[in-house]
Structure 1
Amino acid sequence: MSAIQRLVLCLSLITAYANAFYFYHEGNERKCFSKELTEGSVFYGNYKVQVYDEALKTYKNIDPSADFDVIIDVEEIFDGDQRIVHQKAGPDGQFTFNTQESGEHRICIKPQSSGWLSKTKTKIDLEMSVGSDTSLDSKKKHTIESLHGKVDLLIEKVAQIKDEQQLMRDREAQFRNLSETVNSGAMWWTIIQLLILGVTCAWQMKHLATFFVKQKVM
């Protein structure tokens, strides 16, 4: 591996670690970190909070029905700590904001709960990315196109199911018509056999009568 390739690999690893990390909380503690952002940037954050289970000795997901919220605040440090984002959400969510001016921003996360959850240890996984309005619009467009593709696929599957159902109905109709034809043919064949049998019996009776007359039996 060349020196340039090693450098590119190192930079990619640094970027990956910079964009995804985790940290620990104690109770309802508020933790913040700063990030330099340029005007017109779009900051996207995706977080997940887990609580420490003393019995299992590990962190686990929070029950969605639990009384547990997360407060997200974003402040412009360069403008007297002016708050530009104040969001209350669940233990697993995301937040997005657009930067109006270039400068250092403070992103703060604070778990908010009551009861025993307010005193437990928490772990927060945070993944963040920074892009432009254009890239965000591109992502939205890609998402919409992906949804359109899924809808089209569902429509095709529904049409295919309808075609298969119609084919089954056609085959059932053909089988029913064939059965009716066979039953009708069997009925007529039975009638013909009975007629032939009747004619045969009548002819035999007449022949026997003539025979007995000739023999002077009758």
Structure 2
Amino acid sequence: MIQSSLLYIVLLLGLLLSTSEALQFELQSGHTKCIAEDIKSNSMTVGKYSVVNPSEGHPLPDTHKITVRVTSQYGNSYHYAEHVTTGQFAFVAAEAGDYMSCFFAPDHNPQITFSVDFDWKTGVAAKDWSNVAKKGTVDVMELELKKLYDTVTSIHEEMFYLREREEEMQELNKTTNSRMAWLGFLSLFVCLSVAGLQLWHLKTFFEKKKLI
């Protein structure tokens, strides 16, 4: 019973730490919609998208086609598809940071609005466990152990990733505080200099007017 409880707790943590984002959004012609996801390096990522057919049983109209691009925050392109109604992508993140999936609908007159289904998974959630079971010819218990191992590994990597991000933020805070201190001293120096120049100017003016 205790082992089963621990198994469920670890699996729950793994699900929280591994992103699985399935959503449906509306896209207007002539507009772009971007969705961002923070992904750590060497993490598996898979995505699947499709335009929702407004009329079941009929082919999608030519106006319901989109252009999709997936890029990292450094501008590296990981997926690009033009004038499509459905597609998918899969890659291993080479760099940590925010990844953008942008969907663009060509301009039409009159303007139209349609829906897009998008399923984006990262980490343990991105692995195809059905293929793992087929290839390894393992039973249910062995498959669960594989999932558990990958989940624990993901948690371990996530902890190190969060620690690195925390150190980066602390370093940024130190740098910002140092710059703010120097800016404060500079502002004080400028204010005192201006006040001194004003006093000197007034003294010189009064001396010329023989008022003092």
Per the shorter chain, which TM-score range?
Answer: 0.3 to 0.5
**Greater C-alpha radius of gyration:** 1
TM-score (norm 2): 0.45
Query: Which structure shows the higher strand fraction?
Result: 1
Q: TM-score, normalised by structure 1?
A: 0.44
* Higher RCO (CA-CA < 8 Å; seq separation 6+): 2
